[in-house]
Amino acid sequence: MSEYQYFLKREKGLSQNTITAYLRDLDQYRLFIEKTYEITKIHKVERKHIEAYLKFMHKKSMSSKSMSRKLTAIKGFHQFALSEKETDTNVAYDIESPKIEKTLPQVLSIPEVVRLIEAVKGSDPLALRNQALLELIYGSGLRVSELLDLKTSDIHLLDGYVRIVGKGNKEREVPLGEMSVLALRVYLTKSRNQLTMGNVDYLFLNQDGKRLSRQGFFKILRKLAKSAGIEQDVSPHMLRHSFATHLLEAGVDLRTLQELLGHEDIQTTQIYTHISQKHLKDVYLNTHPRAKEKE
């Protein structure tokens, strides 16, 4: 499995989070095959065994999205085994993925985003860090991994952009808004030097002077959302969805949005047109005086 892990990182260029998820999926698959069929060698696995695993997951009421991801991991591993001559066929090759239910990601309204940011109170180092975190992830639409992996050298305040290393180690430059620049400048000059403990290059640090973790950022968001009176379960990705939706509603074209978000396929970006349409309809129905019948 270590060879496959190296392959995913070096040859496929996948992020560590994706690799971790794939290896976890494969470990669950391996355990099922071993316990159910007493098979420990990949060349002995047959199509029917994989199909049985899919039925097993379905009985556990696993979502089609999760099942599809696990099947992708399984197919990739069998293909790798074929290329390494550990088996003479990829028995998973043409197994169809379950149809994924189309659900639109949740977004915050612009007033809700403003309330969330304004929920940051005080001028202590952690408050200034939190202000910069929110301004940057919403202002530039970053993935949470991209945000927390940033180094101080990736931020270019004078030129107004941030250098991002996204999925597949692909680089892109994303503009910084004025509020992001202001919050980052204050954080870098008045806060970060009080948090850092030694030679740490990461931009956003926790109270121990180490890289801020995903779990740490989630806790910050939940606390601020509660203070802002937002009932939704706010996540970092919700802020990215909100960034994209608000830009579309302001007239940004899909190609530009695709580049800003770092999407390889524009079809991934197109989901935001549906979110935008639904969001606009909800706003209209809730605010227009003639939108619905008086009770």
- Nearest Cα neighbor of 74 from 94, 60, 88, 58 is 94
Given the residues 129, 143, 246, 279, the one annotated as active site? 143
Contact residues for 159 (Cβ-Cβ < 8 A; gap 6+): none
- Nearest Cα neighbor of 25 from 8, 47, 12, 44 is 8
Given the residues 167, 210, 211, 222, the one annotated as active site? 167
CB 269 within 8 A of CB 252: no
To the query of whether residue 187 is one of the catalytic residues in this protein, the response is no
CB 26 within 8 A of CB 74: yes
Query: What Cα–Cα distance (Å) separates residue 294 from each residue in 27, 117, 283, 287, 290?
Result: 57, 35, 17, 13, 9
Task: Indicate the pLDDT class of residue 293, thresholds 50, 70 and 90.
Answer: low
Q: Which residue has the tokens 């915050």?
A: 108
Domain residue ranges in the chain: 2-83, 110-287
pLDDT at 167 over 90: no
| Helices 266-287 & 236-249 angle (0-180, nearest 10) | 80
Task: Indicate the pLDDT class of residue 264, thresholds 50, 70 and 90.
Answer: confident
To the query of whether residue 288 is one of the catalytic residues in this protein, the response is no
List 172's β-bridge partners, or say none.
Answer: 164
To the query of whether residue 69 is one of the catalytic residues in this protein, the response is no
Element housing 225 (H / E): helix 214-227
Q: Which residue has the tokens 């989630």?
A: 218
CB 262 within 8 A of CB 164: yes
What's the pLDDT score for residue 64? 85
Task: Indicate the pLDDT class of residue 272, thresholds 50, 70 and 90.
Answer: confident
What's the pLDDT score for residue 91? 95
d(CA 236, CA 242): 10
Q: Which two tokens stand for residue 264?
A: 């390889």
| pLDDT tens figures, 74-117 | 999 999 999 999 999 999 989 988 876 666 678 899 999 999 99
| pLDDT tens figures, 184-210 | 999 999 999 999 877 789 999 999 999
d(CA 40, CA 33): 8
CATH of domain 2-83: 1.10.150
d(CA 74, CA 94): 12
Homologous superfamily (CATH) of 110-287 is Intergrase catalytic core (1.10.443.10)
- Nearest Cα neighbor of 145 from 125, 128, 169, 161 is 169
To the query of whether residue 24 is one of the catalytic residues in this protein, the response is no
pLDDT at 182 over 60: yes
CB atoms within 10 A of CB 179: 16
Given the residues 75, 241, 246, 263, the one annotated as active site? 263
What's the pLDDT score for residue 279? 57
d(CA 59, CA 55): 6
pLDDT at 288 over 90: no
Parallel, antiparallel or unpaired: strands 161-165 and 171-175: antiparallel
Q: Per 3-state DSSP, what percentage of the chain is helix, strand, and coil (rounded to 5)? A: 60, 5, 35
Task: Indicate the pLDDT class of residue 292, thresholds 50, 70 and 90.
Answer: low
In what side-by-side order are the strands of the sheet with 155-156?
155-156, 161-165, 171-175
